[in-house]
Amino acid sequence: MKVLQERSLAPFHTFGIEVAAEHIIVAESPRELVAIWQDEQYCSLPKMVVGQGSNILFCEDYAGVIVLNRIRGVEVTETADSYLLHVGAGEDWHQLVSSTIENNMPGLENLALIPGCVGSSPIQNIGAYGVELKDVCQYVDVIELETGKQSRIAAEDCQFGYRDSVFKHAMKNTHAIVAVGLCLSKHWQPNISYGPLAKFDAEDVTPQAIFDEVCRIRQLKLPDPKVLGNAGSFFKNPVVESKLRDKLLTLYPDMPSYAMADGSYKLAAGWLIDRCGLKGYQSGGAKVHEQQALVLINHHHATAQDVLTLARHVVSSVAQKFGVSLEHEVRFMNAHQETTLAEVQS
């Protein structure tokens, strides 16, 4: 393991907010992860595994150990029907997607340009442009941090849902993900169901064309964290009962909504925030992104308080106008543990 001298977390999360941790340590193997959890020096401190910090808001300095997961390695095996990828949790997600496309192993192209580590991808079951991690995930390898016991969780036991999995619940804090198994079918079918990809012809579209188009659209709409700090969609798209969706549709006939299997509807949080007139709305150095209202950005030296004040304003505006509650997708951390917008003091 490598104990870093620095304490600033600014380089290790994408919101670019100035916060610090007591210790920052790089772990390059499952054994190093467990060694940190068993080290007497750190045993009384809170500890947290971090990938690239692209889905985290540190609400204050972290009073413990940030463990940067850098477990590397990609192994590819082949069956008659599929390519099976066993990928170390610290690999970069987008680099993996690019290399599979370059090496004629399609299937991940819709998930191009999502920041973060491969090991974080199952946690919120990353999704974009009609595909979710669950569609390609075969298994997730975890290690129990207190005991060092490793186990393999089959995809069907991961409880994948919309931006959700067992890793946000029963396995949170107790286990770290050390590798992910992906299965890419050799009988590739394009997934062009999501609006902006519908222009393609399923008969002759290539994985590379989908990859390029996904990258192009994302670069137009989503701010580059290296330029403007952010953590992607700040809120989840809310799922509401059909009664509320029908009522809202009579008032706002152009409101996007997507039918769910259980009869409920997913609404577009970005549209709701946009319709509140909040694009460009600012609180201190934090701002609602002009190109995509679902993204809150660090416009100019934002503090965590600026982001929290802005997030509260967005939530209350949407609740007031539409009667819909927004839940944040971004994971909030206080000095010791995960918290929520409702819990953090204003």
Task: Say if residues 328 and 55 touch (Cβ distance below 8 Å).
Answer: no
Residues in Cβ contact with 123 at an 8 Å cutoff, skipping those fewer than 6 apart? 165, 167, 168, 177
- How far apart CA 343 and CA 140 sit, in angstroms, is 31
Pick from 234, 306, 305: nearest CA to 273: 234
**Residues contacting 307, CB < 8 A, separation 6+:** 15, 17, 57, 283, 286, 296, 298
Residue 202's CB is within 10 A of a number of other CB atoms, namely: 11
Under rule CB under 6 A, how many of the chain's residues touch ligand EPU? 17
Which position among 24, 153, 294, 304 is part of the footprint of ligand EPU (CB under 6 A)?
294
Measured in whole angstroms, the distance separating CA 304 from the mean position of its chain's CA atoms is: 19
Q: Is 32 in the site for ligand EPU (CB under 6 A)?
A: no
Q: Which of residues 113-142 bind ligand EPU (CB under 6 A)?
A: 128-129
For residue 233, indicate whether it is catalytic: yes
Residue ranges in 44-103 that form contacts with ligand EPU under rule CB under 6 A: none
Binding mask 220-249 for ligand EPU (x = CB under 6 A): -x----------xx--xx------------
Catalytic hit among 91, 109, 132, 329: 329
The residue range among 9-17, 37-45, 141-149, 267-275 that interacts with ligand EPU, by the rule CB under 6 A, is: 267-275
Residues numbered 273 to 292 that lie near ligand EPU (CB under 6 A) are 274, 292
Whether the CB-CB separation of 99 and 147 falls below 8 Å is answered with no
Residue 120 site contact among ligand FAD, ligand EPU, none (CB < 5 to 8 Å, cut-off depends on kind): ligand FAD
218 is catalytic: no
Q: Which of 233, 257, 283, 317 is catalytic?
A: 233
- As measured in angstroms, the least distance from the Cβ of 112 to ligand EPU is 10
Residue with tokens 């920052």: 24
Pairing of strands 331-333, 56-58: parallel
Element (H, E) at 153: strand 150-154
Could you list the residues that contact ligand FAD (CB under 6 A)? 14, 48-56, 69, 89, 114-117, 119-121, 123-124, 126-128, 176-177, 222, 225, 230-232, 331
Q: Which is nearer to ligand FAD, 115 or 285 (CB)?
A: 115
Report the interface residues with ligand EPU, using CB under 6 A.
128-129, 194, 221, 232-233, 236-237, 256, 268, 270-271, 274, 292-294, 329
